[in-house]
Structure 1
Amino acid sequence: MADHGPKSDISLAGTFASSAFAACFAELCTIPLDTAKVRLQLQKKAVAGDGGALPKYRGMIGTVGTIAREEGLSALWKGIVPGLHRQCLFGGLRIGMYEPVKAFYVGDNFVGDVPLSKKVLAALTTGAVAIAIANPTDLVKVRLQAEGKLPPGVPRRYSGALNAYSTIVRQEGVGALWTGLGPNVARNAIINAAELASYDQIKQTILKVPGFTDNVFTHLLSGLGAGFFAVCIGSPVDVGPLAFYKGFIPNFGRLGSWNVIMFLTLEQVKATNLSHDNFGALLYSISSVW
């Protein structure tokens, strides 16, 4: 039998919906860490431009605490709506298309374990296609998160996610929604390959160890491994090779927790085989974020 992963009766639409749901749930749980990461990145640029400026935020946890204390807990979820928009599209497409694209690359007559190279190629493909479609949601998410650092009394450009989309189109043109597409495609394709291919490979390897089965513990270990490799491979893209180890812990805190939550949720949702009733409820919960 070809090793394309466990066979399932889930349709392509069901796979997309389950992937989008898992990605959205992980985003909801971990976006405070992402908000802190964006603030730290913006602060680094500001401090670099002003040698005398003292950093306001220190460390991932310290930044989370500072934001919560000064701006309220809700500020940590600033950008959650476009974040969920992003995961509906990007997460649903990159994760949901992975198995079909991987099967396409190896061919219908393939027998045995899928080579790691094919897994990487499939994940690179789905990551690139997904972010090309979801780039506007990425742009709006980052802009809304960045607005949270503005001092009190300074007018905000956007009142919310939908207003941000319309304002950007009106003031900057439709093409502005795809600002930074090239670097975004490169970055997200690489990180997607690190996450999905490593999860697939680690899980496949673990299941060959006597005593291990396709259960929550296996999914947990595989998710942690996927997060670790995503940081190892993706951090140099984000922060530069020289700053890689300095930012490893906060990056792993974000990506590691995101991958564990996402893959655990995805495996559990897929295990239900998405009956028609469950599928309808899942689609409704996803559509509600829009």
Structure 2
Amino acid sequence: MADTEISFAQAFMCSAFAACLAEFCTIPLDTAKVRLQLQKKAAVTEGVSLPKYRGLLDTIQTIAREEGISALWKGIIPGLHRQCIYGGLRIGLYDPVKTFLVGSAFVGEISLYQMILAALLTGALAIIVASPTDLVKVRLQSEGQLPAGVPKRYSGAMDAYITIMRQEGIGALWTGLGPNITRNAVINAAELASYDQMKRTLLKIPGFMDNVFTHLVAGLGAGLFAVFIGSPVDVVKSRMMGDSTYKNTLDCFLKTLFNEGFLAFYKGFLPNFCRVGAWNMVMFLTLEQAKRFFRG
């Protein structure tokens, strides 16, 4: 994805637009993923555990039936805020940081470890700026978890920002920042570096060209790798942001591990893969086309 022909401002606009479009198209899958991740072991009735949500499609159907179809897009406003800032920075800075690491005079293929390092740095930097938008999105998506009769905590995205600052302090907007930095730096590295590497590898195979099909295949592969690597941290991040009962990241990790077992860290794996795989396919395809537009 080396793009020295376009400026950082153009790269930022391309990245922000691609990330926002992907977010809008796939947020119902993200809402289902968050609900599954926040769902703890259900109370046992006559020896049978009865979780409210059972899989991707059941979660989507249950949310739509009980809360309306629009509930699947809960958190879309802070989600777009997040992608405009986070997506624009982490993707827009990726090529400049790669160039900085290897030097502007470098000629040849950038190594995989340098691509990973560049993506780790841009992912960490971007989420430090955008973490409050992530928190508000998760809080809004988790509203449906409240017991029947309990009033909603927030009327919308702006109300959520204001309420959190008033009731919990401005620092609360960065709740879960530790696992969020880890999660987003790791996933950013998995997505961007693996996309670069997969695209590079595919283009060496006879029959593959720098076209839509190659972008879709590389994007799907990047999504799969990112979910496999990032799921445990993603679960801890979602629980830290959606449930204030945890003291810190380690407390959340240990309670989840001892109370629910290691597989709890892969709760929502299928909806997470569907979401991240689809997100990457839409984002990288849009990104490549947007960059071609600016190149003329």
TM-score, reference length from structure 2: 0.85
Q: In 1, are the aligned partners of 2:179 and 2:233 still within 8 Å (CA)?
A: no
Q: In 2, are the aligned partners of 1:78 and 1:148 still within 8 Å (CA)?
A: no
Mapped pair 1:66 → 2:65: no
Using the TM superposition, give the Cα deviation of residue 101 of structure 1 relative to its aligned residue in structure 2, in angstroms: 0.5
1:179 to 175, 178, 196: 175
Task: State the AA in 1 paired with 2:2.
Answer: G
Task: State the AA in 1 paired with 2:289.
Answer: Q
Q: Secondary structure at the match of 1:112?
A: coil
Task: State the AA in 2 paired with 1:265.
Answer: T
1:158 to 147, 154, 164: 154
Mapped pair 1:251 → 2:284: no
Q: Deviations over 1:211-270 (max 9, x none)?
A: 322110110111011011111211233357942677543321111111101111111111
Partner in structure 1 of residue 81 of structure 2:
85
Q: In 2, are the aligned partners of 1:224 and 1:260 still within 8 Å (CA)?
A: yes
Mapped pair 1:216 → 2:212: yes
Q: Secondary structure at the match of 1:126?
A: helix
Partner in structure 1 of residue 98 of structure 2:
102
Q: How many residues align?
A: 268
Partner in structure 2 of residue 18 of structure 1:
14
Task: State the AA in 2 paired with 1:67.
Answer: I
Q: In 2, are the aligned partners of 1:144 and 1:158 still within 8 Å (CA)?
A: yes
Q: Deviations over 1:51-88 (max 9, x none)?
A: 55621111011100111111110010011101111111
Partner in structure 2 of residue 282 of structure 1:
none
Q: Secondary structure at the match of 1:273?
A: helix
Stretch deviating more after TM superposition (151-160 or 219-228): 151-160
Residues 247 and 75 (structure 1 numbering): CA distance in 2 closer, same or farther, change over 3 Å?
closer
Mapped pair 1:137 → 2:133: yes
Q: In 2, are the aligned partners of 1:120 and 1:197 still within 8 Å (CA)?
A: yes
Residues 180 and 264 (structure 1 numbering): CA distance in 2 closer, same or farther, change over 3 Å?
same
Residues 246 and 147 (structure 1 numbering): CA distance in 2 closer, same or farther, change over 3 Å?
closer
CA distance in structure 2 between the aligned counterparts of 1:151 and 1:269, rounded to whole angstroms: 44
Using the TM superposition, give the Cα deviation of residue 18 of structure 1 relative to its aligned residue in structure 2, in angstroms: 1.1
Q: In 1, are the aligned partners of 2:33 and 2:268 still within 8 Å (CA)?
A: no
1:5 to 2, 6, 20: 2
Mapped pair 1:188 → 2:184: yes
CA distance in structure 1 between the aligned counterparts of 2:225 and 2:97, rounded to whole angstroms: 21
Mapped pair 1:202 → 2:198: yes
Q: In 2, are the aligned partners of 1:190 and 1:233 still within 8 Å (CA)?
A: yes
CA distance in structure 2 between the aligned counterparts of 1:247 and 1:42, rounded to whole angstroms: 9
Instruction: Give structure 2 stretches of 5+ with no counterpart.
Output: 236-256
Residues 274 and 17 (structure 1 numbering): CA distance in 2 closer, same or farther, change over 3 Å?
farther
CA distance in structure 1 between the aligned counterparts of 2:269 and 2:64, rounded to whole angstroms: 23
Residues 245 and 41 (structure 1 numbering): CA distance in 2 closer, same or farther, change over 3 Å?
closer
Mapped pair 1:273 → 2:294: yes
Q: Deviations over 1:122-143 (max 9, x none)?
A: 0000000000000100110000
1:226 to 211, 222, 226: 222
Residues 152 and 86 (structure 1 numbering): CA distance in 2 closer, same or farther, change over 3 Å?
same
CA distance in structure 1 between the aligned counterparts of 2:132 and 2:2, rounded to whole angstroms: 32
CA distance in structure 1 between the aligned counterparts of 2:20 and 2:219, rounded to whole angstroms: 16
Identity of aligned residues (%): 69
RMSD, aligned CA: 1.9
Instruction: Give structure 1 stretches of 5+ with no counterpart.
Output: 276-290
Q: In 1, are the aligned partners of 2:37 and 2:268 still within 8 Å (CA)?
A: no
Partner in structure 2 of residue 147 of structure 1:
143
Q: In 1, are the aligned partners of 2:55 and 2:268 still within 8 Å (CA)?
A: no
Q: Secondary structure at the match of 1:220?
A: helix
Q: Secondary structure at the match of 2:294?
A: coil
Task: State the AA in 2 paired with 1:138.
Answer: D
Which 4+ runs in 1 deviate beyond 6 A? none
